[in-house]
Structure 1
């Protein structure tokens, strides 16, 4: 059964600033891994049952059990995606695009029993062959916090604010 991130509440939960800062640092370090194409290291940020989802632009709050998603990867499929992106077989990303992940407005809206609901706004710029594609939206993540304070993704969900994927027509990088 697919894990689905709840629609975020309007007001954040009363969580310590130190926890929010730790989550911000985690997201910034993840962005660095993606922008430098260290995808095997990035994959280690996921729990064994972790999922990566990108809903379609026409159903941003869709249910992955019923609705079409642009990306709906469990850990196995995510490993396949990473391996593919790092080979010449991924024609849309060979040679690799330059990307820049910008993250802002990070909020921890719930922190219960080591399970954190996190939202953040993002802009991902992809530069390839003289063209700049821009993806903007909101992250809706569920993080698991280990006893040592480290985090792992149970759900990494990128909800696009775009009406459609025009002009680029695809998502060939990890948002």
Structure 2
């Protein structure tokens, strides 16, 4: 039983954040990458650390992916174009999110952590990527937007080819 209006508003806010993450996952699974890109702020960062260094300083440490908004738009363009041989034809993916937690809220930006499992189906093969998302979400003109998105893989190594050609 809710005791205060504050508790109710917190639950509504957490539901809104959870729904946002589910909607983001659906856009990626449906390969609606341009719509997914629209979820990002103009100063956004998308980061995938190496499997042996999950908390890098991207300006100093090696990462699998470290894209600013401009580079992310370029990546989406490549994946939707004909030159991305690793994704032609595109993979089918299915994402599962769990343990969604609002970690903190400060100055209009909130941090949301969640666990993920992404199954990638391609050429009769299945690859599974397991890890944790860290999202920094900001409200821009009344809409939630991604300011920073980090996909931290739990894998010791990337198999079989040592690469990630999908957006995690």
Which TM bucket (shorter chain)? over 0.9
Q: Secondary structure at the match of 1:134?
A: strand
Partner of 2:93: 99
Greater helix share, structure number: 2
The CA distance in 2 between the partners of 1:68 and 1:36, in whole Å, is 30
Find 1:163's aligned residue among 156, 162, 166: 156
1:90 matches 2:84: yes
TM-score, normalization: structure 1? 0.89
Bigger shift: 100-109 or 162-171? 162-171
Moved segments of 4+, more than 4 Å:
none
Partner of 1:47: 41
In our comparison, the structure showing a higher alpha carbon Rg is 2
TM-score, normalization: structure 2? 0.92
Relative contact order, CA 8 A, sep 6+: which one is greater?
1
| 1:47-86 correspondence runs (5 A) | 47-86=41-80
| 1:69-148 correspondence runs (5 A) | 69-146=63-140, 148=142
Residue correspondences, number: 161
- Is the 8 Å Cα contact of residues 137 and 158 (structure 1) preserved in structure 2? yes
Bigger shift: 152-161 or 164-173? 164-173
